[in-house]
Amino acid sequence: MTQTIPPTPDAPFAVEMRGIVKRFPGVLANDHVDFELRAGEIHALLGENGAGKSTLMNVLAGLYRQEAGIIKVKGKPVEFHSPRDAIKSGIGMIHQHFMLVPSQTVTENVLLGLDDPRFFMRLPEYDAKVAAVGERFGLKVDPRAKIWQLSVGEQQRVELLKMLYRGANVLIMDEPTAVLAPTEIEGLFDILRSMVAQGKSVIFISHKLQEVTAIADRVSVLRRGVATATSVPSRGATRQELARLMVGRDVVFALEKKPGNPGKIVLEVKDIHADNDKGLPALRGFSLNVRAGEIVGVAGVAGNGQSELSQVIASMRKCKQGQVILNSESLTNHNTLFGIQHGMAYVPEDRNHVGSAPNLSVTDNVIMKKYRQPPISHAGMLDMSAAEKLARELKQAYDIIVPNVSTPVRLLSGGNLQRVILAREISGLPNFMVAVQPTRGLDVGAIEGVHRLLMAQRESGAGVLLISEELEELLSLSDRVYVIYEGKSMGEVKVGGVEPDESLIETIGLMMTGTPLDQIQKEGVGANG
C-alpha cells in the first residue's frame, strides 16, 4: 500500500487537546493527555484496550466533559456540552456500534435529528443531496436503500455520510476496521484517502500496527491513560518501537512461582473454526494444548477470538470445524453438561451475566454445578440444609464477605462475586479450568487473591487455561503463552522466570499486533530497540 497523500508536517492544527484529564470511579482514564491533529492528515491513535483512547475521543466528540485541560479547534478554544456542539465545530465521531435505524432508508438516517427539512420529508429532493455528498467523497451508497439491507461496510459508509452531510471536518473513527472484512478494509482506506485529499482530517483509533503503518500519516500512543508518544511520523517509526510504546514493560508485582511439573495433556484444541455472534469468522484454525499442573496463557488484544475460544471449549458455542479434547474424550459440540461432568471448570468473562444469577442467593449460586448429585439433592429434591452448609463452608474457606448465604449475589462487590464463582468452580475439584479475564475490574487485593487461587490449582495438578488481556498477569502466572490474533495463533512462547525480559515482551507485543513468531525470529527481532 502506498500513501497517495504526502504527510503535511506544517499544516495548521485542526484540533489541539492539552492536558486532558478524565476520571471514572477508581480509574484515571486520561492523565494530562496532549493530542494534536493537523488539517488534512490521517492520525492514528494507538493503544491497548482500556488505554483511554475512546475516552479521549469521546471528550473531543462532546460525549464526556474533561475535568481539566483545554480543547482548541482551528486555534480557538471551545467548550463542548454535547455531541451537537462538537458537530457544530465540525467534529464528528463514528462509533464502533453504529447508531442507525434499520427500518429507515439511508437518506432518512442521514437527515435524522436535523432541522432541515422542517416538516415535509420531500425525500426525492434530499436523496439527490445525500447522493451528491456521497459522490464527492467516493462513498457509494444507494440513498433509497433501507439500512437493514446493507452490509456492515455499507452501513459504516452511511455513518460517514451522516457526518459529512453535517459538515464535519474532523472525523473520528473508533476501531473502524474491527467490523470489516479484509476487502472492505481496502475500500475504507480509499475513502479515507479521498477525504483527506479534500481537506478533511481523520483520527483513526486502532490497535493493529499493520493498519496504522499502512494508512496513518502520524501516530500517537496511549498507555494506561498516559500519552507515551505524541505525533510520531508513522513512516519513521518501526513496528517494534510502537509495540513497546503500546504494551509497556513494567511488571508491577511478582508472584511466588514454584517450578512447574507439567504432566499429561488434559486439554487439546485442534484447528478450531467458529463464528462470532454476528456470524463472522472469529476463530480460524486455532490450536493449543494444556498439560496437567501448568498454567497456559492466551494473550491478545480484545476481540481477536478469545471469548469465542473459551465458549467453544466450554461447549457454549458451536464450532464449525476442529476438535476439543478433554482427557482424551471429545467434547466437540457436546452440551455444556458433558464438560461439567468430565471435570471442566469455567470462570466466564462476564461474571454478572453468565457466571451468576444475580437475584438468587449465594447458596443457590454455589450449587449451580452440584445440584444434580448428593449431598445437595436426593431423588429430585434439594436438600437445602446441605446446600446452605456447603455455602457456609465455601464462604469461610474463600473469604467471601457477605452477611449471610441467603443474600442475593447482586449485592456483592465484584471481588466477592468472583470469589463465589471461583469457590464454586474450584470446589468441584476440576482437572481442567478455563478462566477468562478473571481479574477484570477488581482491586489490587482481590486480584492477588484470584491469582493465588489459580496458582493453587496449578500446584494441585489441574491444567489451567488463562485467557487475559493483561499481559503482566499472563507473564507472572503462565508457564507458556499463546498469542491470538484475528482467530489465529501467532505462536507460543515459554515464560521462564519471574522477571520476564524485555525482548520477550517486545516479541509478544509484535505477535499481538499481527506478526507471527516465526517471522519475528526470521527477521531477527528480539534484541533491544
Partner 1 sequence: MAESTSLQKKRSGYKIRVEPRLDVPPAWYPLLVSLGAIVFALFLGGILISFAGGDPIRSYQHIAKASFGDIGVLSDTIVKATPILLVALACSVAFRMKLWNIGAEGQFIMGAFGASAIVLAPVLSEETPRWLYLTVMALAGMGMGAIWGFIPGYLKAKLNVNEIISTLMLNYIAVAWVNFWIFGVWSEGGFQMSPKFPNVAWLPRLAEYAKEIPIFRGLTTHAGLLIGIVAAIILWLIVYRSRWGYEIRLIGDNAQAAKYAGINITSNIIYVMMLSGALAGLGGMSEVSGVVHRLQTAPIAAGYGFTGIIVAWLAKLNPLVIVVVSVLFGALILAGREIQPSGVPKMIQGIILVSLIASDFLLRYRVRIVRADAEE
C-beta of 343 vs 408, nearer to partner 1: 408
Q: Does 432 bind partner 1 (CB under 8 A)?
A: no
- Minimum distance between the CB of residue 350 and partner 1, rounded to whole angstroms? 8
Could you give the C-alpha distances from 97 to 93, 179, 188, 277, in angstroms and in order?
Answer: 11, 9, 16, 14
| Contacts of partner 1 in 94-113 (CB under 8 A) | none
48: left (phi over 0), alpha (psi -120 to 50) or beta: beta
CB of 458 to partner 1, least distance (A): 23
User: Smallest distance from the beta carbon of 382 to partner 1, in angstroms?
Assistant: 6
C-beta closer to partner 1: residue 217 or 364: 364
Pairing of strands 329-330, 321-326: antiparallel
Return phi, psi of residue 166, to 5°: -80, 5
Q: Which of 68-76, 113-121, 340-348, 464-472 is the region at the interface with partner 1 (rule: CB under 8 A)?
A: 340-348
CA distances from 334 to 268, 314, 341, 354, 436 (A): 15, 9, 12, 19, 20
129-157 as b/e: b if 16+ CB within 10 A:
ebbebbeebbbebbbeeebeebeebbbbb
Of positions 24, 148, 253, 371, contacts partner 1 by CB under 8 A = 371
Residue 367 near partner 1 by CB under 8 A: yes
Amino acid type, 361 = S
The Cα 31–Cα 25 span in angstroms is 14
Q: Cell numbers at residue 94, please?
A: 463514528
Q: Could you say which DSSP state residue 411 is in?
A: G
- Under the binding rule (CB under 8 A), the answer on residue 425 touching partner 1 is no
**402-421: contacts with partner 1 (CB under 8 A):** 403, 406-408, 411
CB of 82 to partner 1, least distance (A): 26
Q: How far is the CB of 308 from partner 1 (least distance, A)?
A: 15
Question: Exposure pattern of 483-500 as b/e (b: 16+ CB <10 Å)?
Answer: bbbbbbbbbbbebeeeeb
- Tell the smallest beta-carbon distance from residue 63 to partner 1 (Å): 25
Check residue 374 for interaction with partner 1 (CB under 8 A): no
Contact 93/159 with Cβ under 8 angstroms? no
Kindly state whether residue 318 participates in binding partner 1, applying the rule CB under 8 A.
Answer: no
Determine, following the binding rule CB under 8 A, whether residue 281 of this chain makes contact with partner 1. no
Q: Of 157-165, 368-376, 453-461, 468-476, which part binds partner 1 (CB under 8 A)?
A: 368-376
Given 101, 254, 280, 384, the residue binding partner 1 (CB under 8 A): 384
Tell me: does residue 356 bind partner 1 (CB under 8 A): yes
Q: Does 309 bind partner 1 (CB under 8 A)?
A: no
Q: Which residues bind partner 1 (CB under 8 A)?
A: 314, 316, 335-341, 346, 348, 350, 353-360, 364, 367-369, 371-372, 377, 380-382, 384, 403, 406-408, 411
